Structures are given as C-alpha cells and as structure tokens.
Amino acid sequence: MTIEQSFALAGERYAEHGVDVDAALSTLATVSLSVHCWQGDDVGGFERPDASLSGGGIQVTGNYPGRARHVGELRMDLEKALSLLPGRHRVNLHAMYGEFGGKPVDRDQVEPAHYRGWVEWAKQKGLKLDFNPTLFSHPKAADGWTLSHPDEGVRAFWVEHVRRCRAIAAYLGRELGSPCIHNLWIPDGAKDLVADRWTARRLLRQALDAIFVTAYPANEMRDSLESKLFGIGSEAFVVGSHEFYLGYALAKGKMICLDLGHFHPTESIADKVSAILQFSDELLLHLSRGLRWDSDHVVTLNDEVQAVMAEVVRGDALGRVHLALDYFDASMNRVGAWVIGGRATLKALLAALLEPREELRAAEAAGDNFARLALLEEMKTLPLGAVWDYHCHQSGVPAGSGWWRDIHAYEADVLSKRFA
C-alpha cells in the first residue's frame, strides 16, 4: 500500500470522528520549532579552541565521535538535521556561539558583529534565529552564582552581559524580519540548606530591573524567563524558581518559559499552560525529557509531550506558544538526536491537531464521562503514523524509518572523519 493510499484510509477513520486531516496538516505546516544549536557540540561554544561545558548546574554525558569543532561544522550539522524535519524552523543560539575571530572576547564585550555570520547564514537558508545569554562555563560563574552573586562587581559583569545579549537579539530580529526570543536562564543557587533566601532574590530582582531598563520593539525581540526546580550544585535552593519568575514576568510584561525537565517528575506542565495563558499573552515551551531528574534527554513521543501539545491545541493557543527544543546528549549521534526530538515534537503536535475536540467537548458538556474516556482511548490507536508519513512525504523529507539511513550515511561520510 502506498503512502497516499494509507493516508486516504486514515483520513476516513478520522473523519468518522469529525476530524479534517487536511486542515490539521495545514496548521502543522505553519508551526516552527526553535532548534537548539548546543546539541551539536555538547554545549561547548566557540569562545576558545578547548571550550567545553563546565559548571552552572548542567552536565553533558558521553563522548560519541563527531562533535562539531567549529562554527562551519555546526552549521553543516544543523543543515543536515533540518533537512530531515518537515516544515520551516528556527535556530536557537547561545551567546558563546559567536564568531570571535580567534580573539578573546569576554562575555561583557559581546556585540552584534560577533553574530553577523549567523545572520548571513540564516538569510541564505531562509531561517530565523533566537538567542540566549550564557551565564555558565565562565570563571565568574565558577561558584554557581551570577545575577544574584553577593559580589557587586560580579553581578555588574553579568548584568552587562545580558544587556548586550538583548541588544544582539534585537539585531537578529531586525535583520531577519522575525522577533527573536531572548531567553534568560541562570544557575544561581545552593547545594545545601541556606539561611537567607531573601537577599539572593532581592539581588536578582534588582539585576533584572537593571537589565530591562532598555525596551526594544516587540517586532524585534521578546524577553522570556526560565525557571528551574534544581540543578547540579543547586539541589537545595534555586534563586530563579518558577514562582519567582512567574511573579516577575506577570508584573513586568515578560514571557515565562516552561522547560519540561525543570519541574518535579510528578508535576504536570500541561496543566500550567491554560493557567498561565489566562494572564500572559505568550508562553515559551522548552521541550526536553527529564529521566528521574532534569537530565536533558532527547525528546520522545511520550505522555508528557503529548499532554502539553494537547493543551496548547485545545486552547487554540498555537499562535501564543513558542516551541523550542532544549536537550543535549553526547552518548549518541548528535545529528540523529536533533532529528528524533524534532520529529517527536511535531508528531505530538499532529496528534493533538487530530484530536476530535468537538466530540470530546460535547461528551464532557453532557456529563458523559464514560464517552469522553472511551474516545480518548480510541484516539490512541487511530492511524496517526499514516498521516505523519504523508506529511513527511509531501514536505520532501523521508517518511517512516528512511531518515535513519541518511543519518548513518552522514556519519560515515562526515562525522566519523572529524577526529580520524
């Protein structure tokens, strides 16, 4: 049976529940994921030749061959990954991925010129860019404190870094004609019990106020704030908790970022979507997979990702929710990891778009809890895969398992030769 024939039969099955598969695919085609550059080189960046991730409550595990060693290799790998994802997507940069010409440029000296190469590349490839300040892997973050550091000089250094990063984000947005999301995450916290949480949070609030003095047009950049439950070295106390950033974001008109790995394993991130969007215009979601802890595993088509996408679609909130990948796994082919996570996220979104929302709402409104649950169960075995394969086929990317061969060929021809 051909892909087209399977799709036609799938369409008939979904139509029995009032679902228009063509409409669902049309909507899916408008969605852009923000694909994170740091999966390609294990969060090392290009500030120095021997750069590697160190400190700041995050960790990369593994040493699989083929890591990108410079910006040219990273862009090549990103292009390969993007060629295997249906749709048009964005690329998400960290400040440490600038092109510094082999010269030492400290974080408080970064400027738009260091990212001009990324802009030219994005223009050539028809891509848009997002941006993040890098408040880790630096001597002034070695103790795990940055914007709430007790030393005024250290705080000032990081305030200046984030100020400059916001200006860079606005530059990227202007140049590419699409608002650049500037997302702020900091590692600040304590490994063991603390006696004074108040001072640290007061200092962080003051630092944020100083950072956000400069306003930029919404069509150039948008600010978001990302919380965390705990990190390596901040197991007992995280200054930028969910409650802190949610309060600040709502008070100051900023966007909140929910990372799927940054909450307690039993906490529902899906439940937060409808709550936050009652009071905020926009929401940023970082798609990750925590395995027992915030371990930044590759996104898979699991219950949590599907539940989050269902909530976004049920609330007609696709135009208000920004989707970004955020994980790093050095134990496997890094390009393949990008593609697995991107395709899983898009599949979860497609499943949500194929949900018979009107039928479900009618059963719920009638108090027919049996019919509601029965329908939710029935949806699990409807032919999502046939619709997904058709979407990939129509988008010019491999359907089914065909893309694996592309990854293996790329590894044999390119990745395996980098350290030969």
pLDDT in tens, 168-187: 999 999 999 999 999 999 99
Q: Report percent pLDDT > 70 for the chain.
A: 98
pLDDT value at residue 275: 98
Q: Is the dihedral of CA 185, 187, 192, 193 positive or negative?
A: negative
Please report the pLDDT score of residue 394 as a whole number. Answer: 97
* Candidate from 116-125, 317-326, 333-342, 395-404 with smallest mean pLDDT: 395-404
Compute the distance between CA of residue 119 and CA of residue 127 in angstroms, rounded to an integer. 9
Residue 414 above 80 pLDDT?
yes
Confidence band for 210, pLDDT divided at 50, 70 and 90: very high
pLDDT band at 51 (very low <50, low <70, confident <90, very high): low
Annotated catalytic residues are 185, 226, 228, 259, 262, 286, 294, 296, 326
Q: Can you give the pLDDT at residue 44?
A: 94
Residue 5 is predicted with a pLDDT of: 95
pLDDT at 57 over 70: no
**Please, what is the average pLDDT of the chain?**
95
**pLDDT for residue 213 is more than 70:** yes
- Digit-coded pLDDT (tens) for 250-308: 999 999 999 999 999 899 999 999 999 999 999 999 999 998 888 899 999 999 999 99
Fold held by 32-353: TIM Barrel (3.20.20)
Asked if residue 404 has pLDDT above 70, the reply is yes
- pTM of the model as a whole: 0.96
Per-residue pLDDT at 53 exceeds 80: no
Looking at residue 188, its pLDDT comes to 97
Under the banding of pLDDT at 50, 70 and 90, the label for residue 60 is confident
The pLDDT assigned to 46 comes to: 94
